[in-house]
Amino acid sequence: EVDQWHRAAARARALPGPRRGRRSAPGPGQLPQPPRPPVVEPDGTGSPYIGLRPYGPGDAPLFHGRSAETATLLARLDARRRRPLLVVGASGSGKSSLVSAGLVPEWERRGLTTVIVRPGGIGPGVVDAPDALVVDQLEELWADGVGRTERAAALEHLAARAASGLPTVCTLRSDFVTAALAEPVLREALDAEPVLLGPPSRAEITEIIVEPARSLGYVVEPALVTLLLDTVAPVGTGDDDRSLLP
């Protein structure tokens, strides 16, 4: 998929037309437009796109296309959960970006402080804190060098924390679901409405392309959007129009 993006970008460079939108001066009787809120460029180059790395909390103004999934996360966390909430998806589906740039900023708007750790950071000091907790890449509990006792202790920490009502979210690769089902804590979590993250639809990919550029004042030509969509998410290639691109 990355090669397809590179080829599409090369073709896009040859397209004519403006690259940055311009604001017109107010007409007679019109008020000047208020300035846009500042959006931090991800790499200082003027590009509105962060590349292949996951989005972090600081990238939230540029994170688009997953509003429905973010709303689902919030709704399930608001339902007085007593088990960790699992976000399950294929490798590269955008799980880390969803929780870091979608969920965490929403928590912060509610006045919650969030701690984001990998499984190696699970310990009493983290799980006993009153903050909202995200454990990213929970599948690392099955990495070489992690024994059954260590894995069981980490999962018991998470179970105790969630049982006390503290917000607890874990991301898990879908190819580790079978391994997770062997652990009672995760089997119960998988039975308690996990969030299953699939690839974005064509409409969501359009938002992912257009909205970050718009937030920095750029205009993305419709022809370019169509070109990118037909490259990475062609219609009629499967049961639906979803792309395999994260």
Whether pLDDT at 20 is above 60: no
Taking CA atoms, 219 is separated from 34, 72, 209, in Å, by 19, 30, 11
Over the stretch 200-232, which tens digit does the pLDDT of each residue have?
999 999 999 999 999 888 999 999 999 999 888
Confidence category of residue 39, pLDDT binned at 50, 70, 90: low
Mean pLDDT of 141-145: 95
pLDDT at residue 34 in the model: 43
The HSE-up count of residue 115 (CA atoms within 13 Å, CB side) is 18
Confidence category of residue 170, pLDDT binned at 50, 70, 90: very high
Confidence category of residue 18, pLDDT binned at 50, 70, 90: very low
CA 244 to chain centre: 15
Tokens of 130: 């009153």
pLDDT at residue 244 in the model: 46
Confidence category of residue 14, pLDDT binned at 50, 70, 90: low
- How far is it, in rounded angstroms, from Cα 156 to Cα 167? 15
The more confident residue out of 28 and 44 is 44
Place of tokens 């060098």: 145
Tokens of 87: 């976000």
Q: At what angle do helices 222-232 and 202-215 cross, to 10 degrees?
A: 140
Whether pLDDT at 31 is above 90: no
Mean pLDDT of 11-34: 48
pLDDT at residue 21 in the model: 44
> Other C-beta atoms within 10 Å of 189: how many?
26
Over the stretch 53-67, which tens digit does the pLDDT of each residue have?
999 999 999 999 999
The amino acid at residue 54 is: P
